[in-house]
Each structure stands twice: as C-alpha cells, then as structure tokens.
C-alpha cells in the first residue's frame, strides 16, 4: 500500500471489510496495538474482544489483511460496593496495549475503579507421550509401563489463553476516565475526575498520586479532569485536559506532585460566540499526542484542535466537526447530548485527524490540504467492499440529492470511539454495538 501517497490527500475510496455485531453490547473503547496487528474493543458488559489481522496472502487477494476474532474474555464483572450501596459498572472505559516485549501480548483494561493487566499467550503445541499418564490424563497402571519415553511436542489447534496478571484496585475514589502507558514501559498512569495516579506495572498495592485538583471544600469544585496521556517519547511529560477546556502539560521531574503545570494551554473565549453553554462545549473530551510528539489533538463538543507544544496561547489549527449544531445547543443541552464525549485520532503520519459525530457519521481532516470529508458507518449505506460515499449535512437552502438535513440527524447514533492503525490507513469505528473496520485501497482499478 502506498502510504505516502495515500496520506497526501483524503482518499474517499474506503472499503468496508466486516461489521461485527457484539450481541447488542455497546462498544465503549477501541484500540490498536503498537504494530496494528491486533485490535481490542471493550464493551459495556465488561468484555474485551481482540481481533487479529490475517496475514496477506497472494492466493486470496480479497482477504488482504482482514481482521478476525482472535480472543474474547470477560475483563470486568459488575461489583457491588456495600459501603456505599453502589453498583460499580463493569463497562470498560479504556484499553491500552503494552509494547510487546516477548511472545505474549499484554494490555491494560479499566472500568470506573479497577485497572487490570491481561496477558495474552498462544498455545499451538501440546506435549504427548507421558510416561505416567495416558492420553486422557489418567494415571497409567505401572505394571504396563515397560520402557521410558521422552514426551514430544505435537502441534495442536491454536489456543489463545488470557490470564489476569495484575489487578490495580483501590486507587481511585472517582471514576477513571483515562489510562496511559509510559514510554519507559514500566509505569503507567490512571486519571479520574480529580486525581491522577502513577503505577508501576509490577506493583499493585501502591500508587503515587501525581495530580490532585480536589479542592479543600467540595463546594469550590468547578473543574474536573477529563483525559490524560503520557508523551510518546519523553517519559517525564504528560498532559491532562479539563472540563473548562484547558490543557496542562506537566513534568514529573520538576516536582513529585504535579499540581503545578509546566505549561497551560488555553484558548481565550471568543466574546462574539459566548453563550450559557460556552463552558460545556469547551470541555475537552479527549486529548492525544501526535506520533511525533510535537503536537496535541483535542476534541471538544464542536471542534477538534491541534496544539503545538511550543505555543500555549491558542491552537495552531481548529477544525469544525459539526458547526451546524451551534444553533441547537439549547436542545442538545436539554436531551444531554451536549455532554457526549467524542474521541479523536491521528493517522500514522500525523497528517490526517479523525473524529466521530452523530448519525453514525465520522469526519476526517487533512492537515496539509485542509480538505475534509464526512463518511457514514452503517450497513444500510454501504455494502461490503463498496467504496464509502462522502456525506453532506445541509442546513437549509440548496440541497443536493443525497444530503442529510440537519433536522433529520439521528442523535442516538453517535460515534464516540474511533481508532487509527499506527502505520496504515486502516480505521476502526465503533457505532453503538457495531464495529466497522475500513481499509484504504488505493488501486488504479478503482478509479
């Protein structure tokens, strides 16, 4: 695949490989691993489903690198906190892969309160020819054993085994919204509404609190932490976003407690567009460092913004995701849609950014050409292997044939979770309980 040429321009020729219906369970997180070979999804029922990319084969050109189910396991169960008379949801909020260090794969999955480290191993050989046991495992009658044999490893059907290696519990009073693995591959952080903790992957009975924004009096509470992430290369740097739309870059080497930020990224409010809902729509729902580590991507209710780490005063780029909603904010406040938290993603070369919207639409912005496209993830609108058609939302006035009127958008169909393959133009889109995987097939035949 010609990735360099692909990323120069937005290519509309996306093919749909599969849609996976995970039995009406709503997908709550999607994450590729570092090579893109594996794709993990978490759902509201506490399950994790891992997909693996099949190696490309010349014999079947159409099944070029498609994703199939690799493993499914129950990560979190519903819990009951007897002290508070509360049910702790088993919904998986975030999954993060650890960089692969041996044959096994590892990932962290978290619900509101507890983070778990899972190890995924493959077994494709089985020892046969035991001396004391027979094939079913029953002990042999010793009188029948006349000679010694060395057990041999025989191939067997691939079995994927998943086991919980660590359980990081009791670290958070409030709801965990993010986890992020450090580039040192030894530590990771977890953030809830008011605090961020640093953990060592091997130690479960303690964590270090590195950010605490809980006020002495809860009545003074006006801001919460909404997302956080470690810098991809500098193990001492991390960023966290707030409900007031600010980003704080912190250096763990400056102080043990990072309440004081190294840099504060905040865009001054535009007085002309000020409304009662200004704060709500400025709340950052996701923050992602670029692969290069030079930029940060943030998502608030109506826009995605690119920030340069060297410029705190304002973002260097702002893209409108669905500005046609700006005049509908009151209704969206009424039905709580204004509180929806959308994620955002970079492509592998940091030239294209992607985020979800309503009506199963998702948007892509090419930073170089400044072109953008709206696509739809739904079975009705695309058949397998068909090319996705760009969509348009019209406000009124002149309307083309396939345009969607803003009044007929379905606000229950929200694409909150999206992921981009680390190197190739493959994207994973979670549309409620369906997972869509789109691949970019730039092929001279298609055009």
Partner 1 sequence: MMLSKGLKRKREEEEEEEEKKEDLEVDAWWLDPGHPAVTQTPPTVASSSLFDLSVLKLHHSLRQSEPDLRHLVLVVNTLRRIQASMAPTVTLPPVPSPPIVPSVADNLLASSDATLSTSIASLLEDLSHIEGLSQAPQPLADEGPPGRPVGATPPSLGALDLLSPATGCLLDDGLEGLFEDIDTSMYDSELWVPASEGLKPGPEDGPGKEGAPELDEAELDYLMDVLVGTQALERPPGPGR
When asked if residue 171 is in the footprint of partner 1 (CB under 8 A), the reply is yes
Answer for which of 63, 292, 327, 369 binds partner 1 (CB under 8 A) is: 327
Q: Which of 3, 54, 212, 372 binds partner 1 (CB under 8 A)?
A: 212
Does the protein bind partner 1 through residue 245 (CB under 8 A)? no
Q: Contact with partner 1 (CB under 8 A): which of 268, 407, 444, 445?
A: 407
Residues linked to residue 366 through DSSP beta bridges, in sequence order: 352
Q: Which is nearer to partner 1, 130 or 339 (CB)?
A: 339
275 versus 292: smaller Cβ distance to partner 1? 275
DSSP characters over 319-371: EES-GGGGGGHHHHHHTTGGG----EEE-TTSSEEEEE-BTTEEEEEETTT--
Q: Which stretch binds partner 1 (CB under 8 A): 26-34, 209-217, 416-424, 430-438?
A: 209-217
Residue 335 interacts with partner 1 (CB under 8 A): yes or no: yes
The piece of 13-21, 193-201, 314-322, 435-443 that touches partner 1 (CB under 8 A) is 193-201
Q: What is the dihedral of CA 190, 292, 362, 44, to 10 degrees?
A: -20
92-101 in b/e form (b: 16+ CB < 10 A) is bbbbbbbeee
Q: CA 270, CA 282: separation in Å to the nearest integer?
A: 11
> Is residue 97 within 8 Å of 104, Cβ to Cβ?
no
Give least dist CB 435 to partner 1, A. 24
**Contact yes or no for 166/204 (Cβ under 8 A):** yes
Write the CB contacts of 412 (distance below 8 Å, at least 6 apart in sequence): none
Q: Does 260 bind partner 1 (CB under 8 A)?
A: no
**Cβ neighbour number for residue 258 with a 10 Å cutoff:** 23
Q: Which stretch binds partner 1 (CB under 8 A): 52-60, 117-125, 173-181, 347-355?
A: 173-181
Under the binding rule (CB under 8 A), the answer on residue 411 touching partner 1 is: yes
Spatial distance between the Cα atoms of 224 and 218, rounded to a whole number of angstroms: 12
> Please, what is the minimum distance in Å from the beta carbon of residue 358 to partner 1?
10
Check: CB of residue 333 under 8 Å from CB of residue 277.
yes
Q: Rounded to whole angstroms, how far apart are CA atoms 180 and 187?
A: 9
Using CB under 8 A, which of 218, 271, 370, 380 touches partner 1? 218
* Beta carbon of residue 50, minimum distance to partner 1 (angstroms, whole number): 29
With 0-12 / 13-18 / 19 or more C-beta atoms within 10 angstroms meaning exposed / middle / buried, residue 23 is exposed
Out of 224, 235, 387, 394, the residue judged to bind partner 1 by CB under 8 A: 224
Give the nearest distance from C-beta 355 to partner 1 in angstroms. Answer: 19
| Options 81-89, 127-135, 261-269, 372-380: segment touching partner 1 (CB under 8 A) | 81-89
Minimum gap (Å) between residue 331 Cβ and partner 1: 6
81 near partner 1, rule: CB under 8 A: yes
Instruction: Indicate the pairing of strand 295-299 with strand 27-32.
Output: unpaired
DSSP-assigned letters across all residues of 407-427: GG--TT-B--EEEE-SSSSEE
Q: Which of 104, 213, 235, 280 binds partner 1 (CB under 8 A)?
A: 280
In the list 145, 156, 158, 221, the residue contacting partner 1 (rule: CB under 8 A) is 221
Which has the closest alpha carbon to 247: 233, 234, 235, 229?
Answer: 229
Shortest CB 124 distance to partner 1, Å? 38
* Residue written as token pair 């046609």: 324
Q: Which of 80, 149, 163, 323 binds partner 1 (CB under 8 A)?
A: 80
Binding site for partner 1 (CB under 8 A): 80-81, 83-87, 89, 169-175, 193-195, 197, 204-210, 212, 214, 217-219, 221-224, 226, 243, 255-257, 274-277, 279-280, 283, 327-331, 333-337, 339, 406-412
């Amino acid at each position: 695949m010609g990735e360099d040429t692909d990323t120069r321009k937005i290519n509309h020729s996306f093919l749909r490989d599969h849609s996976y219906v995970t039995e009406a369970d709503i997908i709550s997180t999607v994450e590729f691993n570092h090579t893109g070979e594996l794709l993990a999804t978490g759902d509201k029922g506490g399950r994790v489903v891992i997909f693996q990319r099949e190696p490309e084969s010349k014999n079947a050109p159409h099944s070029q690198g498609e994703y199939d189910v690799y493993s499914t396991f129950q990560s979190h169960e519903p819990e009951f906190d007897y002290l508070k008379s509360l049910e702790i949801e088993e919904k998986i909020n975030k999954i993060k892969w650890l960089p692969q260090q041996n044959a096994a794969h590892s990932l962290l999955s978290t619900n509101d309160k507890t983070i778990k480290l899972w190890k995924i191993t493959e077994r494709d050989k089985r020892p046969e020819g035991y001396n004391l046991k027979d094939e079913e495992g029953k002990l042999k009658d010793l009188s029948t054993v006349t000679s010694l044999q060395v057990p041999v490893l025989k191939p067997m059907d691939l079995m994927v085994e998943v086991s919980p290696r660590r359980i990081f519990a009791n670290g958070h009073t409030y709801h965990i919204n993010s986890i992020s693995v450090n580039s040192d591959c030894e530590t990771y952080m977890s953030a809830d509404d008011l605090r961020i903790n640093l953990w060592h992957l091997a130690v479960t009975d303690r964590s270090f609190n590195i950010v605490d924004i809980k006020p002495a009096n809860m009545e003074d509470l006006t801001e919460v932490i909404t997302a956080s992430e470690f810098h991809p290369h500098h193990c001492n740097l991390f960023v966290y976003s707030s409900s007031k739309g600010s980003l704080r870059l912190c250096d763990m080497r400056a102080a043990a407690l990072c309440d004081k930020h190294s840099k504060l990224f905040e865009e001054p409010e535009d007085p002309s567009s000020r409304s009662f809902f200004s704060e709500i729509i400025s709340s950052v729902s996701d923050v992602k460092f670029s692969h290069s580590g030079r930029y940060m991507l943030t998502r608030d209710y109506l826009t995605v913004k690119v920030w340069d780490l060297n410029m705190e005063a304002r973002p260097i780029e702002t893209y409108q995701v669905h500005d046609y909603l700006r005049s509908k904010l009151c209704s969206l406040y009424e039905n709580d849609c204004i509180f929806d938290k959308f994620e955002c993603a970079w492509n592998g070369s940091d030239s294209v950014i992607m985020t979800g919207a309503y009506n199963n639409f998702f948007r892509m912005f090419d930073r170089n050409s400044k072109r953008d496209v709206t696509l739809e993830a739904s079975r009705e609108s695309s058949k397998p292997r068909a090319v996705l058609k760009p969509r348009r939302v019209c406000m009124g006035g002149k309307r083309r044939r396939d345009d969607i009127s803003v009044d007929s958008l379905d606000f229950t169909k929200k694409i909150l979770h999206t992921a981009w393959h680390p190197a190739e133009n493959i994207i994973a889109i979670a549309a409620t309980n369906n997972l869509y995987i789109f691949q970019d097939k730039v092929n001279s035949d298609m055009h």
